[in-house]
Amino acid sequence: MAFKAFSLLSLTPLLLLLLLLLLPLLSHATSPKSHDKKSSPFEFLKHLQGCHKGDKIKGIHNLKKFLEKFGYLSYSHSKNNTHANDDDFDELLESAIKTYQLNYHLNASGTLDDKTVSKMMMPRCGVADIVNGTNWMRPGKKGHHNGHGSLHTISHYSFFPRSPKWPPSKYHLTYGFLSGTPTAAMNPVAQAFQTWASRTHFTFSQAQGVSNADIKIGFHRGDHGDGYPFDGTEGILAHAFAPTDGRFHYDADESWSVGVTPGAFDLQTVALHEIGHLLGLDHSEVEGAIMYAYIPEGAAKGLHTDDIQGIKALYI
């Protein structure tokens, strides 16, 4: 059957007008939903760039809360505890910034310089770099007991305090997805588990029901009841708990993608990082490692030699 030639000129003026009015609506309805870029919850740091000890600038108390969140600062056992919520740039804050700068190979001046602000503003994992005041991220500074009485010197990777890990009876772990998890996220997470399985003694499989799974994965917004609220877009991307807790949460407010997509975060890359926490690894100071706290937008990462060395050292 032959198709008749179609021309806009063959339409009556009224039909042509209706078509021209409808075209933008049809185009909008069939185009992918765009994610409006909202400001980062770490945006306040820009205003504080250049501040240093002795300054009193509005917003420094937010910097203190930022550093407290990630384990660098605590006024609870300090004689200066009255400064926890004020805008005074005191000696304790300077010391916390120096520690942060050392951990991320920045100039340890204690001043909030432009490179430090740039690093702090990057989207990251919500797990603290320092837990209970113990900083394991610095190489050669501290040792770590491996559970057999000997002292293991950490190179770049790090463990949680007291090195929690899964017992030998639980080297096969099951995982499940909580209600509300996007279907598109399930395969990238499964692929991340298989990547870890290929480089460790662990095996993983999806549980029949999430209630009985060793690891529970879900997407949440804001305060979701675990004591570590999410903060909207471009801040904390996800978090997971040390063994044998098994909770792994994505921030549902972020722009997520399957694979590398500009302006979005790769589900599998973030899963690789958070599964590292589930197995007992804390953050690494190696930028190429999957356990580096900061996670790139529009990029993908895999396991690094440092990650493999870390998990092997933990499960000697």
Q: What integer is the mean pLDDT of 109-115?
A: 98
**pLDDT for 31:** 30
pLDDT category of residue 154 using cuts at 50, 70 and 90 = very low
Q: What integer is the mean pLDDT of 264-277?
A: 98
Q: What is the DSSP string of the chain?
A: -PPPP--GGGS-HHHHHHHHHHHHHHHHHHSPPPPPPPPPTTTTHHHHTT--TT-B-TTHHHHHHHHHHTTS---TTSTTGGGTTS-B--HHHHHHHHHHHHHTT----SS--HHHHHHHTS-EESS-SSBTTB---STTT-EEE-SSS-EEE--S--B-TT-----GGGSEEEEEE-TT--HHHHHHHHHHHHHHHHHSS-EEEE-SSGGG-SEEEEEE-S--SSS----STTSEEEEE--TT--EEEEETTS-EESS--TTSEEHHHHHHHHHHHHHTB--BS-TTSTTBSB--TT------HHHHHHHHHHT-
**pLDDT for 243:** 98
Active site (annotated) includes residue 274: yes
Q: Please check the confidence at residue 10 and state whether its pLDDT lies above 50.
A: no
Q: Please check the confidence at residue 314 and state whether its pLDDT lies above 70.
A: yes
Q: What integer is the mean pLDDT of 43-47?
A: 96
Taking only the tens place, the pLDDT of each residue in 19-43 is 444 444 333 333 333 345 568 999 9
Taking only the tens place, the pLDDT of each residue in 123-150 is 999 999 998 777 877 644 443 333 333 3
Q: Please check the confidence at residue 56 and state whether its pLDDT lies above 80.
A: yes
Q: What integer is the mean pLDDT of 94-103?
A: 96
Q: What integer is the mean pLDDT of 277-299?
A: 96
Taking only the tens place, the pLDDT of each residue in 199-212 is 999 999 999 999 99
**pLDDT for 307:** 97
**pLDDT for 3:** 33
Which of 234, 254, 274, 297 is catalytic? The answer is 274
